[in-house]
Amino acid sequence: MFNKLKSKLSGFKEKIGTKIDEKAVAVEPEETIDVPLVELSMSDSSVQETPAEVSAEKTHPVSEREPVQQETKNNKKFGFAQKAKALVFEREFILEEDDLEEPLWDLEMALLESDIALSVSEAIVESVKNQLVGTRRRIGSNTGNIVEEALKKAIYDVMSANVFDLDEYVKNASKPVHIVFIGINGTGKTTSIAKLSKRFKDQGLSVVVAAGDTFRAGAIDQLAIHANKVGVKIIKHQEQGDPAAVIYDAIQHAKAHKADIVLSDTAGRMHTNINLMEQLKKVCRVAPPDLIIFVDEAVAGNDAVERAAQFNAAVPIHGSILTKTDADSKGGAAISIAYITGKPILFLGMGQGYDDLQKFDPQWFVDQLFAE
Ligand SMILES: Nc1nc2c(ncn2[C@@H]2O[C@H](COP(=O)(O)OP(=O)(O)O)[C@@H](O)[C@H]2O)c(=O)[nH]1
Ligand SMILES: [Mg+2]
């Protein structure tokens, strides 16, 4: 999942690592060069082996000997790279803003190319910069870790804004809990309702689905087929009927039968479509939802982010479901939607099967991005 983003993030890690090596060479302390060498006093140009070294050579090939041992004997035998390595391993290293400028610029480009919106990319880069600049600690084998931790924290902070646990909410809320799903056509609203129906049913909750998309031909049948397969009750009216009336009936049915949850499907709409938005407002008046969930597809990238912002402004949403993450290698929409709406991603759709629904957990998401 999100392989492009993953490789870009690891590219950034490597770039910073290279920067650190370069800087280590540049700031090599003079004393390691100034130490007088016994061998040089014997010969100006060539380095001769001491008897001790010759015997060591016989018993242990050079490659097997401890580098530290060699260095105390003869600094001149080590190239810059090795000295720099020793410096990095043994000394504290301070990262300055200048060191990071180029890699951070690359990081921002990489984030933008991964469909992460500009303001979100900037926030992540700023966070990484604040964490790394002035870092004063021993940097050696764990250089990559320091960079990775900074990136993880930056992304985690963006993703964990306003965490909302739907399962906890449903458990504690008075029943039936009414959830309305909104978004444009074809993004996966109906499929996500089917997946969630199964998920709630598997948890032992009783579910009613409301066929509130009376607009698109075949939409009612599509939901009915899912409801039948999953084994949940569907309330439906005729095509072109009033969605508010269907959804109202579904709630009445749920109340009468002490059902736990009503999941209401709606027709795809843009917030700019005044008639459809008025219809949605009517639904919310007649059959008030406890939660409104925005559904969009990861593959839409920045378009999905834009729509999330627009819907959230028109009808305040409680969270989002991002579908088709199985078909998206960029991963940016997930990060951006959470940041831009200030509302959490609740689930990721990861395929067309009923179980292809992943409850979104920021820590899980960040771990995925850095998994080998
Ligand atoms: N690969 C993949 N396809 C999905 C996912 N969610 C939905 N789809 C497909 O997207 C298409 C549109 O889904 P639908 O639920 O009808 O969208 P709606 O118009 O928003 O209700 C269908 O063919 C679904 O099978 C997903 O997570 N992964
Ligand atoms: Mg639909």
| pLDDT recorded at residue 6 | 87
Residue ranges, the chain, pLDDT below 50: 30-79, 82-83, 86, 139, 141
Q: For residue 321, what pLDDT is reported?
A: 97
What pLDDT, on the 0 to 100 scale, is given for residue 34?
A: 43
Residue 140 sits in a domain whose CATH number is: 1.20.120.140
- Is 152 found in the same domain as 9? yes
**pLDDT value of residue 67:** 41
Domain count, the chain: 2
The whole-number pLDDT of residue 13 equals: 81
Q: Which of 225, 307, 352 to mutate to test the pocket of ligand 1 (most atoms within 8 A of CB)?
A: 352
Point out the domain boundary residue: 159, 184, 200: 159
The reported pLDDT for the residue numbered 49 is 41
- Ligand 1 atom index nearest CA of 191: 15
Closest ligand 1 atom number to CA of residue 356: 27
Note whether residue 182 is domain-resident.
yes
> Which residue range(s) make up the domain with 154?
3-27+93-159
Task: Express each pLDDT in 89-139 by its tens digit.
Answer: 555 566 778 878 888 898 999 999 988 999 999 999 999 999 888 765 554
Q: Ligand 2 center to residue 192 CA distance, Å?
A: 9
Q: Is residue 86 part of a domain?
A: no
**Alpha-carbon distances, residue 220 vs 17, 18, 123, 253 (angstroms):** 56, 58, 43, 18
**For residue 246, what is the domain's CATH number?**
3.40.50.300
Same domain, 155 and 104: yes
Q: What pLDDT was estimated at residue 40?
A: 36
236 shares a domain with 326: yes
300 Cα to the center of ligand 1, angstroms = 13
